[in-house]
């Protein structure tokens, strides 16, 4: 299983950052390169505990769908989503928020596994981990920019 760990320091209140991280509309704006669109489940506004969203996007030149469910949420400190349906063998994304003076530290822990056994593991190491890291960094840049306005 591959793992990505990112920390983003945001000069904004923890409640604001928490809500921006689960805002479907902001997510769609931050993923314009992959044309990510919420097509089923909770498709706009703030997603909550036990809610699902199905995304359609173009990744790596292929149209893909990915259905996620929020399986845990403690406002404003954390929420976790998992993949219910999609192209990964497994996908779990923890979103953790910590207050630090006037800043919020937003932590992403993304654990994922590609299908296709050893070929998938090689693909993870050579390409997919870097691709997903760049994807998250862009999303976090938009959250930070919006929160710090």
The whole-number pLDDT of residue 13 equals 97
| 19 close to 143: Cβ distance less than 8 angstroms | no
Q: For 25-52, how does the pLDDT look when each residue is reduced to its tens digit (9 = 90+)?
A: 999 999 888 889 999 999 999 999 999 9
pTM beyond 0.85: the answer is: yes
Parent domain of 7: 2-147
Task: Report how many domains make up the chain.
Answer: 1
pLDDT at residue 69, as a whole number: 98
Q: Which pLDDT value is given to residue 35?
A: 86
Structure token digits, residue 144:
């930070």
The ranges of the chain with pLDDT < 50 are none
Neighbouring CB atoms inside 10 A of 127's CB total 12
The domain spanning residue 140 has which CATH number?
Answer: 3.30.530.20
Q: Quick one: which of 72, 147, 73 has its CA closest to 104? A: 147
């Amino acid at each position: 299983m591959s793992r990505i760990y990112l920390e983003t320091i945001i000069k904004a209140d923890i409640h604001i950052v928490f809500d921006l991280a689960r805002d479907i509309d902001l997510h769609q704006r931050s993923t314009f390169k992959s044309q990510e669109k919420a097509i089923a489940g909770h498709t706009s506004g703030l997603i909550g505990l036990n809610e699902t969203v199905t995304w359609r996007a173009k990744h790596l030149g292929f149209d893909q769908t990915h259905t996620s469910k929020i399986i845990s949420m403690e406002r404003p400190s954390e929420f976790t989503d998992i993949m219910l349906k999609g192209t990964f063998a497994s996908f779990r994304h923890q979103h953790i928020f910590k207050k630090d003076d006037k800043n919020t530290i937003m932590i992403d822990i993304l654990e994922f596994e590609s299908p296709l056994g050893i070929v998938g593991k090689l693909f993870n190491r050579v390409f997919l981990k870097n691709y997903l890291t760049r994807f998250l960094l862009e999303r976090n840049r938009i959250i930070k920019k919006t929160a710090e306005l």
